[in-house]
Amino acid sequence: MEDVAGTCPEAANPSHDQRMLASRASCEAQKRLLRRAGKIDGKALLSEVACEPALSIEHVTHAYGERVALDDVSFTVARGSCTALLGLNGAGKTTLFSLVTRLFAARQGQIRVLGFDINRDPGEALRRLGVVFQARTLDLDLSVTQNLRYHAALHGLGAGEAKARAAEVLARMELSARAGEKARNLSGGQMRRVEIARALLHSPRLLVLDEPTVGLDINARASILRHLRELVAQTGLTVLWATHLLDEVNATDEVVVLHKGHILATGSTESVIEAQRAKDIGGAFASLIADPSDASAQAPS
């Protein structure tokens, strides 16, 4: 995966840290030029400079007591990409998302959203972040529209803007006809699409989803992924979703493979497959996580 979409230099076969340093230096140079030109100033500068990745994770480690859930994790998510965080259950995916969303404090390492450090500037970082958690979080006794308007109020949207935005995101998720129904009357796939619509209300630049298709049938899963890829293609939104289901990843996606708290691979689906000399992403994943002492290691189904 490229740290910057064609804007920052790379040396031949650079390490991740070398790429990060080159990216940072190029971004800082762009910011200085923009400041001198008087074109942009202040906090808005960070999110407008094209070479700032949508998400940057640098040397993040997190432990629960003596159990290390994430061990020196580093990767970036390029703007406008659709990226799968691929790993088995227990790999550390939910822990990582809890750190990105500030449910947990990131005590070791650095996390930045559109250039904003989540510890030093959490308001600016979270303002640009939309989140869909693995657990269902809709109020089942409220209508779809009421769920969205309540969430909009938490983001400080006025009544008129909230109404307009709710109508817009429900239309995009093909749920306009269900706007007045109570959430409990929806199918599992429809509930998940409402949660995605809710996460888009405040117009985030980065959408993160923790196992959004868990428990859904094959058609509902396909619908969720189709909507996510359309959002990326049509709006330029950046999407990062966690999954253990290999068949959710297609050739156009970027991939980050997380296993037992370690990053094993990043890049386009095709590049990860090629690097492992595999036929498909399932074979590449199996090769990456294989324990040399266990010849029976298998990829998840």
Q: For residue 291, what pLDDT is reported?
A: 72
Condensed to tens digits (0 to 9), the pLDDT of residues 102-120 reads 999 999 999 999 999 999 9
Average pLDDT over residues 9-36: 51
Res 125: pLDDT? 94
Is the distance from CB of 165 to CB of 172 less than 8 angstroms? no
Structure tokens at 114: 């559109």
Give the chain's length.
301
pTM: 0.82
Q: Which pLDDT value is given to residue 40?
A: 47
DSSP state letter for 182: B
Distance CA 14, CA 275 (A): 16
> Which domains occur in the chain, in start order?
1-52 (no CATH), 54-128+204-301 (3.40.50.300), 139-203 (no CATH)
Q: pLDDT digit string (tens) for 25-56?
A: 555 555 555 555 555 455 555 445 566 899 99
Residue 296 is predicted with a pLDDT of 46
**Rounded average pLDDT over 82-106:** 96
Average pLDDT over residues 288-298: 66
